[in-house]
């Protein structure tokens, strides 16, 4: 902010951090930044309407900070929470601040360390008046792509947190899909780390161009500085196969279940992280449980191309699931979220930035009411052209004992979505058998129940029966 000419005041409970920030501003060109070690002095240093951005750990620290700040705020001031917060907490905080006339904004921020300094993707949700006051600052500080800032007004309070939450869920899916592609190529294809690095670097010049593919190519070629005399040890091979997480992926899966939105790619990625955490159990199980002893022979170049196509097709499914969840939450909460704009502001600064977001944006510009990316004409053509490669990869993985939960989940999602008829008819019959839950028929209207143990004698339309007509 200071770099873009805005006068900035900062405050932190740790005086050393305030001093460090002030010194850094001086070192980077005498930027207009003033440090404060007292909350009241900090708040009163700001011109009205005050615009205060909180960047602390989600949960109680946010509540404590808001309490300390709001005591010195006045009507019309704006407080922005820029953390990864559970959206109901933002709804609660906005309601608590409303009697004081303080406007509250929940704003997702993505970009990691680099984005935070050079321009992140900013996802604000809150009162329109608050966004209008913040907009001149946000459009300057956000990442810029094709001359446009990677920020927009997403909707009322909660929408910004929600979009950022789903962004993180898609990020989980992307990372797991890339890990599975790496695993299949390494185990079934026998590619070395150097070869894998070259493959991912090449992929980053095509349809898979993205931040995560770019850094994967770099990671795979990084040698281990701690290997001593052995110069051929790669760092990735020395990293423990145990993935951490901060909770946003779990929130996405929880929300998908609450809103009846299928998200198998993202769900599988979360399960993969849970299972990775069972390192000690997996080591024991590896000595007890059997799998295939031989890997089927493959054409290496064909496998590389198949995995590329499977990865792209799976990414389409993952993004479709995330955007469907945003749309459903928007409908249920009264947020008028533009999914094309979500794709646009994810193009720069953020972790899931990718070239194909342009195509996602175009799909929703063309049809704002699009039910799924899978049935957009362009994406449907892509999926139809790739599904045989996709199936070969999943089949090879199964035959080789290589777990590919997100590849498999994505393919199953595709196959279920394209089926006009599913075996759910049998499931409905079972539910009616043991619980009397009734079922619908394909040949007539209404809900029906059958006395299954009485010669399959149907007692007919439930509504008619309840009225005494049956």
Catalytic residues: 164, 171
Residue 431 among known ligand-binding residues: yes
Residue 349 is labelled as binding a ligand: no
112 is in an annotated binding site: yes
The DSSP code for 445 is S
| 162 known member of a binding site | no
Rounded distance, CA 386 to CA 306, Å? 8
Asked if residue 449 belongs to a known ligand binding site, the reply is no
**DSSP per-residue codes, 327-387:** HHHHHHHT----HHHHHHHTSSSSTT-BTTHHHHHHHHHH-TT-S-GGGSHHHHHHHHHHH
Residue whose entry in the numeric block shows the structure tokens 């990084």: 222
On whether 59 is known to bind a ligand per the annotation, the reply is no
CA distance 34 to 212: 36
Helical pair 405-417 and 264-276, crossing angle rounded to 10 deg: 160
Does residue 110 have a known ligand-binding role? yes
Check the annotation: does 167 bind a ligand. Answer: yes
Q: How far apart are the C-alpha atoms of 455 and 140, rounded to whole Å? A: 73
- Per DSSP, the chain holds a count of helices (H) and strands (E) of 19, 11
**Residues 61/84, Cβ–Cβ less than 8 Å:** no
Ligand-binding annotation for 437, yes or no, is: yes
| Parallel/antiparallel/unpaired status of strands 51-54 and 144-145 | unpaired
Sequence ranges of the binding site for substrate: 84, 110-112, 167-168, 172, 246, 273, 431, 437
Sequence ranges of the binding site: 84, 110-112, 167-168, 172, 246, 273, 431, 437
């Amino acid at each position: 902010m200071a770099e873009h000419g805005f006068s900035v005041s900062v405050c932190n409970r740790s005086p050393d951090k305030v001093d460090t920030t002030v010194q850094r501003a001086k070192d980077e060109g005498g930027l207009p930044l003033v440090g404060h070690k007292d909350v009241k002095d900090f708040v009163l240093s700001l011109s009205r309407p005050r615009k205060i951005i909180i960047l602390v750990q989600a949960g109680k620290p946010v509540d404590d900070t808001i309490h300390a700040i709001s005591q010195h705020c006045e009507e019309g001031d704006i407080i922005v929470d820029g953390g990864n917060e559970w959206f109901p907490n933002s709804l609660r905080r906005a309601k608590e601040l409303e009697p004081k006339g303080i406007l509250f904004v929940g704003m997702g921020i993505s970009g990691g360390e680099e984005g935070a300094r050079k321009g992140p993707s900013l996802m604000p949700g809150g009162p329109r008046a608050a966004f209008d006051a913040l907009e001149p600052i946000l459009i300057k500080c956000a990442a810029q792509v094709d001359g446009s800032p990677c920020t927009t007004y997403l909707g009322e309070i909660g929408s910004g947190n929600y979009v950022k939450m789903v962004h993180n869920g898609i990020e989980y899916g992307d990372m797991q899909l890339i890990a599975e592609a790496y695993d299949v190529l390494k185990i079934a294809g026998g590619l070395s780390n150097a070869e894998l690095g070259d493959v991912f670097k090449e992929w980053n010049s095509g349809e898979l161009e993205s931040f995560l593919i770019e850094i994967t190519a770099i990671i795979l070629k990084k040698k281990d500085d701690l290997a001593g005399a052995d110069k051929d040890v790669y760092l990735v091979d020395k990293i423990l196969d145990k993935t951490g997480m901060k909770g946003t992926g779990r929130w996405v899966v929880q929300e998908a279940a609450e809103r009846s939105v299928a998200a198998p790619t993202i769900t599988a990625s979360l399960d993969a992280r849970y299972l990775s955490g069972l390192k000690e159990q997996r080591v024991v199980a590896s000595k007890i449980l059997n799998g295939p002893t031989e890997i089927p022979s493959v054409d290496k170049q064909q496998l590389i191309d198949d995995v590329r196509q499977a990865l792209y097709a799976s990414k389409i499914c993952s993004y479709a699931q995330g955007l469907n969840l945003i749309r459903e939450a928007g409908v249920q909460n009264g947020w008028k979220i533009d999914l094309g704009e979500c794709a646009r502001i994810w193009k720069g600064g953020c972790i899931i930035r990718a070239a194909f977001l342009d195509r996602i944006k175009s799909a929703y510009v063309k049809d704002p009411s699009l039910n799924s990316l899978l049935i957009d004409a362009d994406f449907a053509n892509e999926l139809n052209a790739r599904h045989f490669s996709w199936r070969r990869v999943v089949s090879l993985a199964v035959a080789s004992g290589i777990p590919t939960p997100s590849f498999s989940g994505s393919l199953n999602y595709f196959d279920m979505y394209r089926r006009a008829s599913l075996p759910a008819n049998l499931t409905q019959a079972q539910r009616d058998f043991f619980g009397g839950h009734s079922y619908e028929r394909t040949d007539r209207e209404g809900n029906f129940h059958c006395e299954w143990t009485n010669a399959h004698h149907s007692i007919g339309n439930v509504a008619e029966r309840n009225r005494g007509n049956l």
